[in-house]
Structure 1
């Protein structure tokens, strides 16, 4: 990885720019709100929740809280709200935070609250510590108590720069322990060091021990993807390690371009969708200091989407196509954990009802060394279907290393993938996808996939 100074997604005129150990993640203890189980985020109703949203720089634009209605109208289910502890910018007190939460709830948005004053600690002399961020959360606990169904606490934004980033592990464990001791039952989100981009892999390699340090096992990891993540291999490898380890990961910030390099936003979006990982684009509006191109809309005008806004909201794997409202607001229940029992396939002795057909489209979405990632899109024919089965034979000796959103079995080179209980039922012309990572040697010839439906 390139060793360079990385400023991840820091907004507004106030800023200059603004190997995971595999663990069997234990189900979270009973809690009043969000929990974590098997690497997935569950809402207070026990339903899978995948964040699809944006960041909003509230602390610098306190008069723009009405933007949350616009964010919701464009399809988001989550907003990450920038707050200040008062150590660097004007403090958002308990009354103000209550207003933010109530506005999120009024617009049926899940509210991720973050303290921005920690950004780049150790490298930026103006930044404050995670310990001070915890002091802030404790001081406004009255605004947060009872809001666990709607609020996730992101302790501190990008809490270390590139200096002494190794200290992130101990400081993060201490911060989580203090919040739990103070009685916080919220899901806690922690940002990576290296200005959020973790190019030294401190968070990646210590995530399991940080997760275990939370007595509620209710910690979510957040990676910020800017110039470090400019290739598909870097994106799929980083996110894939957390998924394989059963640890919850979200892309808490990312953009389509940045001063430290050109992120591969298409792979970020495609991989997040294929693996059921949340993402929050940076940012709604108000960026300055040379990164104005990260605005999703111009001058807080929802009718003036920028090219980045068009891509994030309306593009492939974007918010409009993939977001589902949290079930605590009455939204449709999103997919559950892909390890859930699958819908039994139809009996091989009973032909499927006439007219029920499907097609399967195989695509390779990324590659690295001897490994690659793929996605299979299943599309129903002219009639609705209740389940599907995809089969193929690997032509070049490929082998799966991980799969999701389907129950996959192998017999030699013969592959069978069956729908799960949440993605087998498709309307006429409707589609879904499942994904995988695999290894290959020599020529990686694509197989011919066939689909049958019932």
Structure 2
């Protein structure tokens, strides 16, 4: 299976799994962990708090000039994480150290956990030009300075879909994955590592499922997460539930690193993926923000990188049942970069002309720490519709509005304010929203 950007071939998935036992981690080890870490089959952030990935993929390697805005928009739609496509330089132009460092910085500015993945391994053994996991490790070593010290904010997905469907890829998956993890640890990477399954990520051979416990136990840091990609192989709720339950019942950490609502290899059950993930506390990352080509444009969640034009798939994953807006919780490591409850106040002034209106919004920082990077969430009280915003990027899903800073309104100093405005249309009484939340914290109304 293949998914490709408009100008370069990518790859699509195939996987399904079950697993054996995973060891527990002592409390002292959890406290000593420098960043994200695994304990008792759960992914914990640096504060020791359970963290469930909720976001989408972004093809930075092919659309680097889109990344800054894409991350802002993805955050504004409620995501807590983003999986970023990087190229080691074997198949596509290399994303070097400075570029990777910039991506990490932009993720942090937008309070998104960065899952960085090396894409040139996609379909190795079956896809022309694909490279082995050993080359992906070479790449991570070459850009180590970009992620050094970022263990609280970055998860490293060693190689995307690192084997196709041929037997030559299934037999060495376990040994090659163990070697890759060993080399990463020997090179000084303390990050949580994520490993993909063979079969273009979908593991229909159950290779990853049946050997995940062995791979996890072989990681000296016991800090590896397994990633399955769910497309046409996972076309029923039973298949989805069985695969994910095999991991969680054995305390093995698993995420759905990619999935969509349709695909040429079959019709994935996205509803089962999302509902099962919520029930089990399993992370998911939809493919993908925008820019798909080669016949799989339907995998875009936003049309033309425009957050105001979400596709049916985008509306489903962001605002549907068990979706990102309903289930995402921000990583605890960002708690200090936003205001505490009661440390912000919002003024909302309306100029109403019947069937259309302007609103002027002022956010005041009443706390003791400057806010750098913000998102304001509120809900229209009636049938209002957002048209255009200024001094902020704003999107509407149902009645809910999420407004995020522009570069020139990014910082709210202690005691200071930022303002933005928007116009819209209404079909009835036009009132002030009942509540406002800044970076997830409730604000007073002024």
User: Which TM-score applies when normalising by structure 2?
Assistant: 0.71
- Mark the runs of 5 or more structure 2 residues left unpaired by the alignment: 13-17, 339-446
Query: Is residue 118–residue 160 contact of structure 2 (8 Å, CA) maintained in 1?
Result: yes
SS at match of 1:310: helix
1:137-194 C-alpha deviation (Å, 9 max, x unpaired): 0011111110000000000000000122221110000000000000000000000100
2:199 aligned counterpart, secondary structure = coil
Q: Deviations over 1:258-310 (max 9, x none)?
A: 01000000000000001100000000000001000000000000000000000
Q: Which secondary structure does the structure 1 equivalent of 2:285 belong to? A: strand
1:314 aligns with 2:335: no
Quote the Cα distance in structure 2 between the aligned partners of 1:141 and 1:16.
24
Which runs of 5 or more residues in structure 1 are unaligned?
1-5, 333-454
In structure 2, relative to structure 1, the CA distance for the partners of 1:156 and 1:102 (3 Å cut) is same
In structure 1, C-alpha distance between the alignment counterparts of 2:35 and 2:89, rounded to whole Å: 27
Is the contact between residue 22 and residue 40 of structure 2 (CA under 8 Å) also seen in structure 1? no
Asked whether the 8 Å contact 1:17–1:290 carries over to 2, the reply is no
Q: Distance in 1 between matches of 2:307 and 2:335?
A: 25
**Equivalences for residues 276-291 of structure 1 within 5 A:** 276-291=281-296
What is the aligned partner in structure 2 of residue 154 from structure 1?
A: 157
Within-5 A mapping of 1:28-427: 30-65=32-67, 66-163=69-166, 164=168, 165-330=170-335
Moved beyond 2 Å, runs of 4+ = 9-13, 16-19, 22-31
Give, in angstroms, the shift of residue 10 of structure 1. 4.8
Q: Corresponding residue for 2:368?
A: none
- Partner Cα distance (1:20, 1:51) in 2: 21
The CA distance in 1 between the partners of 2:311 and 2:47, in whole Å, is 36
Q: CA RMSD in A?
A: 1.4
Residue number in structure 2 paired with 1:21: 20
The number of residues matched between the two structures is: 326
> Residue 11 of structure 1: CA displacement?
4.3
- Matched position secondary structure for 1:114: strand
| Corresponding residue SS for 1:58 | coil
SS in 2 for 1:91: coil
CA distance in 1, matches of 2:278, 2:83: 19
* Paired residue secondary structure (2:292): coil
Cα distance, 1:327–1:214 mapped onto 2, change above 3 Å: same
Shift of the 142–48 alpha-carbon distance from structure 1 to 2, 3 Å rule, reads same
Q: Is the 8 A contact 2:11 2:123 kept in 1?
A: no
For residues 16 and 100 of structure 1, the distance between their equivalents in structure 2, rounded to whole angstroms, comes to 20
Q: CA deviation at 1:125?
A: 2.0
CA distance in 1, matches of 2:253, 2:10: 31
Q: Which range moved further: 163-172 or 210-219?
A: 163-172
